[in-house]
Amino acid sequence: MKIALASDHAGFDLKEEVKGYLLKEGIQVVDLGTDSNASVDYPYYGRKCAEAVSEGKAERGIVVCGSGIGISIAANKIKGIRCALCTDVEMAEMARKHNDANMLALGGRATDRDTALSITKTWLNTGFDGGERHQRRVDMLNDMG
């Protein structure tokens, strides 16, 4: 599996933690920045990561900003992206099972390292339920803008 990663300055440290975890698990990582805690604009990085996923350069993506809110909004502007901001393991599981979320957003200032890694692990290892009602809803999302 290949995962695209991106963050703004507020999410940089957590992005690096997630990156280390993914590499340790043998998962290929495409790090799209940022490369430091210097202030940058989250919409650029959310878009960059979402485009990598939508264009098939990565199977899924993970984005991180301070709260996870702004960068998830940016990612969701890209057609075909279903980016879920998850703050606990149950949300990560449901994002995959019911929404087939192809991107995960985390809050670098809102989520501690251990929780973020548990969320990431669950999100990576949970499949899409694929049931008729869930697929119908995912299809509806995909048909939007």
pLDDT in the model for residue 67: 98
pLDDT in the model for residue 142: 87
Task: State the residue range of the domain holding 85.
Answer: 2-143
pLDDT in the model for residue 145: 62
Catalytic-residue membership of 134: no
CATH code of residue 76: 3.40.1400.10
Helix 12-24, helix 113-125: angle, nearest 10: 50
Among 49, 65, 83, 86, which one carries the catalytic annotation? 65
**CA–CA gap between residue 50 and residue 57 (Å, rounded):** 10
pTM for this prediction: 0.97
Structural domains of the chain, count: 1
**CA–CA gap between residue 4 and residue 48 (Å, rounded):** 9
Residues written for the chain: 145
Catalytic-residue membership of 98: yes
Block means of pLDDT (10 residues each) for the chain, 145 residues, are: 98 98 98 98 98 98 98 97 98 97 98 98 95 90 83
pLDDT in the model for residue 131: 84
